[in-house]
Structure 1
Amino acid sequence: MQTIDTLEAGRYYHIYNRGINGCNLFTEEDNYTYFLNLYEKYINLIADTFAWVLMPNHFHLLVRIKDVDEIDLSGLKPPHQYFSNLFNAYTKAFNKRNKRHGALFERPFKRKIIEDESYLMQLVLYIHNNPVHHDFCSNPAEYGWSSYLTCLSLKPTRLNRNETLEWFDDEVNFKYMHNKAVETMQLEEWLGI
């Protein structure tokens, strides 16, 4: 039986998953928006987000589970339950809209603990370049369903963009590193994906 790592407070994680049997999770533009609204409702309570991308049939997130002193403890459930609630709420709405039933996401959702800052930086590059790797665009700035543009924006956001940019030293290096040719297969091997 597969061992599933517990999500621990104060730790960084790469959370990712795909549609069951490779099916699309997002078939219309407003699906992406709806998922992000649910994400804010369920996940912002228990985790800080540093990078994300929503692809038609999968997603990647870079999060840090909040410490106990950062969370309202009234009625607190284990962190994985908030992710499950997000996926279940989205599946229910998606199924109703598309007149389908059954699971939408693979179970359990994937999670990989992140131990060092170098890995964090590489993971941000991997996440933001995922649409490039899958031929949806030629540059991360061209894809609207990732946190890349939010990292460069001055608009208010719940994304922890300042810390994300600090991993790259500054915005100039952030852009430079993202625009370099990223060998995704090499990153996947290095990241253990």
Structure 2
Amino acid sequence: MRKTQTLESGKYYHIYNRGINSENLFKENRNHEYFLMLYTKHIDPIAETLAWCLLKNHFHLLVRIKTFEEILKTHKEHEIKKIIPPHQSFGNLFNSYTKAINKGYNRHGALFERPFRRKLIDNDAYLRSVIKYIHYNPVNHGFCDHPIEYPWSSYLTCISEKPTKLKREKVLLLFKNTDNLKTFHDQRENFASLEEFLNL
């Protein structure tokens, strides 16, 4: 049984998981929308999101876990006692989504593999690679030819100027500017070594 890594405050993590027995997590568009709504509820208060992608039977997230002080700033005083460990917030997200899918599709039992996977990202080069890897997942799985064509990832948000909760400024700083981000994503890349490291 693999050791589960603790989510430490102030650090960046690539978080990913898939459906149990490779079952589809997202059967139709409204499932993606509902997952993102739950994500806003459970994860936005405890983490900053730099990239995400939802595919049929798995997902990828790139987050920075907020410090306790940062979390306190987003909570009202009477809510302070409700602050829970970051891994529990993710667990609550997955449990809530599982209950909704089970109810909506007349199924029962676990939906996600457990525990959810997480990898610490400790340098900017690795951050850039993971952002591109996440955005390129739909291309790698044959859903499209370029990340710009896929609606259920953060790539379109990264190159947009519309208001967003995504930490777009941090992402653009990693690539210096939007044009460099686009150029970086236009270049095909073999992610075999990264996938081997992630044990995918």
TM-score interval, smaller chain: over 0.9
The 3 A distance-change label for structure 1 pair 105 and 97 is: same
C-alpha distance in structure 2 between counterparts of 1:16 and 1:163, whole Å = 21
Give the equivalent residue in structure 1 for 2:8: 8
Letter in 2 for 1:58: H
8 Å contact from structure 2 (residues 143, 150) kept in 1: yes
Report the equivalent of 1:27: 27
Residue 159, structure 1, aligned to residue 166, structure 2: yes
TM-score, scaled relative to structure 2 = 0.93
Please name the residue that 2:60 is paired with.
60
State the Cα distance separating 1:187 from its structure 2 match.
3.5
Residue of structure 2 in register with 1:95 after alignment: 102
Residue identity in the other structure for 1:27: K
CA drift of 1:30 comes to 0.4
User: Deviation per CA, 1:154-182, whole angstroms, max 9, x where unpaired?
Assistant: 11111001110111111111000101012
Match of 2:51, SS?
A: strand
The count of corresponding residues between Structure 1 and Structure 2 is 193
| C-alpha RMSD over aligned residues | 1.2
Q: Distance in 1 between matches of 2:172 and 2:198?
A: 20
Aligned to 2:178: 171
Q: Name the stretch that deviates more: 127-136 or 64-73.
A: 64-73
Secondary structure in 2 matching 1:154: coil
**2: CA distance, partners of 1:112 / 1:189:** 13
Q: Which runs of 5+ in 1 are unaligned?
A: none
Would the aligned equivalents of 1:53 and 1:147 in 2 still touch at CA under 8 Å?
A: yes
In structure 2, the residue matched to 1:44 is 44
Alignment of 1:138-157 (within 5 A): 138-157=145-164
SS of alignment partner, residue 189 of structure 2: coil
Are the aligned partners of 1:129 and 1:182 in contact in 2 as well (CA < 8 Å)? no
Q: TM-score, normalised by structure 1?
A: 0.97
Q: 2:130 aligns with which of 99, 123, 142?
A: 123
Q: Deviations over 1:127-168 (max 9, x none)?
A: 000000000000000000000000111111110011101111
1:15–1:109 Cα contact (<8 Å) kept: yes
Cα drift, residue 186 of structure 1: 3.7
Report if the CA contact (8 A) 2:119-2:198 is conserved: no
Shift of 1:192: 6.0
For structure 2, the residue ranges without an aligned partner over 5 or more in a row are 73-79
